[in-house]
Amino acid sequence: MPDTLARGKRAEHRSAAPTREADLPFAFLTLLLLAVGVIMVLSASFASAYYDVQGETGHDPAYFFTRQAIFAVGGIGVMYGASRVPMAVYRRFSGALMIGALLSLAAVLLAGTVVNGARRWISLGFTTFQPSEITKIAIILYFSTLICKYRDRMRTFRYGIAPFAAILAAAAVLLVLEPHFSATIIVLMIGAAMLFLGGVRLYWFIGGAAALGVGGILAVSLVPYVADRVASFRDPFSDLTGDGWQIVQSLYAIGSGGLAGLGLGQSRQKYLYLPEEHNDFIFSVVCEELGFIGAVLILVLFALLILRGYDLAIHAADRYSFLVGSGITTMLALQVILNVAVCTGLVPCTGISLPFFSYGGTALMIQMAECGIILSLSREIPAAPERAGQKSMI
């Protein structure tokens, strides 16, 4: 009997061990998008960095590019390191990461750095840290753990709704107090996606959507900041020098790019017309300089990355890896879709960054870590004979 148990444990260990190298197509697409993104940060930011409005960049046109390039190189190392960590380790420490994320959100309210009226960052001296980015991946990892734990009870309120709703409510309240409404939206959407994957009944999503609708109406009615954003979304040209300025300049940039663009580095709107040109609205500069063709090619790269991520998740070795891979891929897809929608005026203006493109060390490093986690699960995909005849999604 002991020999039988020992053989069973050894077999389980072998089945959980990595069976192949990390997925090269996913790694290649990630690195390609990262390289293009860093180049676009240089092109989009040099004018504002040289003008040096607040005396932070020292009139160095390469200031934002240099820092982004350093974080990109570090991010490649982080992605490789994350790809070598077994998925069982992520599962084991997901609870601790979730607690740390919530505590860091609370710490922002007490000792955060204020930028443009929002307290969203914690200063580390050499750079700033944005806890909302950690919260996103923490929710994916920990929700995946809970879904696997409550697998047969996910359709009940006590196990399938209550613990998840409590965590999402705590994170949402802390984010709203910063205020950081765009991160709140992303966190809630990620949570909903994870619950959908976990098998929660559909009527809970209908109720949740109705509650969010009521909350949105109340926010527009009671919060002037939100009301102004919605008004500028409905008719940005009614207030060209106020709340409509940003989206109007973004539309000017996109429209002036035409089919083939003005050429790399030739954007006009980045010369202090378009706010956040190297951050949330960098896609507008992409459209202006690379045109419709270049923008579509970049979106195709994102689409291939997302399809490959889902493909790897579908073939994951276990349910936890499937949930994590699907969650991370869904989060990347949501951020790309919402960022492009904001830049093109399809949704109200919110601070949603474009993965691998928007300037920001915290977001970039964590995005690379997330891609590393997907590469980690790709290492553990069993090379079973029955998969030999299956076709990849890309």
Contact (CB, 8 A) for 353 and 308: no
Beta bridge partners of 129: 122
Identify the pLDDT of residue 14. 42
334 in Cβ contact with 309 (< 8 Å): no
Q: Look at residue 174 in the predicted model and tell me its pLDDT.
A: 92
Domain ranges (residues) in the chain: 22-379
> Which 3 state secondary structure label does DSSP give 53?
coil
pLDDT score recorded for residue 388: 46
CA–CA distance, 101 with 97 (Å, rounded to integer) = 6
Q: What is the pLDDT of residue 122?
A: 81
- Only one residue has tokens 């970049």, namely 298
pTM of the model: 0.89
Dump the DSSP string for 275-325. Answer: TTTTTTTHHHHHHHHHHHHHHHHHHHHHHHHHHHHHHHHHT-SSHHHHHHH
Note whether 233 and 346 are within 8 A (CB).
no
The DSSP output letter for 380 is T
To which residue do tokens 């409404």 refer? 181
Contacts of 116 (CB under 8 A, 6+ apart): none
DSSP for 124-192, written as a single string: -SSSEE-HHHHHHHHHHHHHHHHHHHTGGGTTSHHHHTHHHHHHHHHHHHHHHHTT-HHHHHHHHHHHH
Spatial neighbors of 373 by CB under 8 A, at least 6 apart, are 82, 83, 85, 87, 90, 137, 324, 325, 328
Residue pLDDT tens, the chain, 394 long: 444 444 444 444 444 444 578 999 999 999 999 999 999 999 999 998 888 755 666 678 899 999 999 999 999 999 999 999 999 999 999 999 999 999 999 998 888 777 766 777 787 766 777 889 999 999 999 999 999 999 888 888 888 889 999 999 999 999 988 888 889 989 999 999 999 999 888 888 888 888 878 877 877 777 776 777 777 777 788 777 777 889 999 999 999 999 999 999 999 999 989 998 999 999 999 999 999 999 999 999 999 999 999 999 999 999 999 999 999 999 999 999 999 999 999 988 887 899 999 998 889 999 999 999 999 999 999 875 545 445 554 4
| Contact of 114 with 128, CB cutoff 8 Å | no
- Environment class of residue 243 by beta-carbon count within 10 Å: exposed (0-12), middle (13-18) or buried (19+)? buried
Q: C-alpha dihedral over 165, 170, 173, 175, to 10 degrees? A: -110
- The residue type found at 264 is L
Give the model's pLDDT for residue 153.
87
